[in-house]
Amino acid sequence: MRTNTKEIKDRIKNYLLANVDDENENEFTSFEELAKYIKSELLRIYGDTHQSTFKTYMQGLPNAAADTMFYFHYYNYNVILGEILGQTKEECSKYSPEQAVELGITLFYRELYRFF
């Protein structure tokens, strides 16, 4: 499955827009606004926006965006990743939860970073 198609990129953006709120549970009106918020969170907490920093941010730290994108969904990440990638249950079950999380974080970062 190619993960760099326009369709997949749009699904990633739509998933994040539908599932990520700020610390006051406000929804974002654009993907660019969401990405700028994540960037400001990374800079505020860590002082940089590197992918390794984003991975740390996504590993369940108590913040609104990461909690929504990662921690809350950890145990069904295979299903979420499968939906984003347009895969069947059988196809997405080939990923361990850890592999699904790793790929999901990479895909999320790739789309967010365009606005950093």
pLDDT > 80? residue 67: no
Domain-located, residue 1? no
Domain-located, residue 107? yes
* pLDDT at position 24: 84
Domain that holds residue 74: 6-19+30-113
Cα–Cα dist 54/35, whole Å: 12
Domain-located, residue 98? yes
Domain-located, residue 25? no
* Residue 69 or residue 8, greater confidence: 8
- Name the residue with tokens 């499968």: 82
Cα–Cα dist 35/25, whole Å: 16
pLDDT > 70? residue 25: yes
Domain-located, residue 68? yes
Separation in Å, CA 19 to CA 27, 50, 96:
8, 23, 22
* pLDDT at position 101: 82
Q: Is residue 57 within 8 Å of residue 41, measured between CB atoms?
A: yes
Domain-located, residue 73? yes
Domain-located, residue 24? no
* Residue 78 or residue 6, greater confidence: 6
Cβ neighbour number for residue 2 with a 10 Å cutoff: 7
pLDDT > 80? residue 76: no
pLDDT class for 115, splitting at 50, 70, 90?
Answer: very high
Cα–Cα dist 72/82, whole Å: 17
Cβ neighbour number for residue 18 with a 10 Å cutoff: 10
Q: If you average pLDDT over residues 42-63, what whole number do you get?
A: 84
Backbone angles phi, psi at 101, to 5 degrees: -65, -45
* pLDDT at position 61: 55
pLDDT > 50? residue 72: no
Q: What's the domain count of the chain?
A: 1
Domain-located, residue 66? yes
Cα–Cα dist 20/34, whole Å: 8
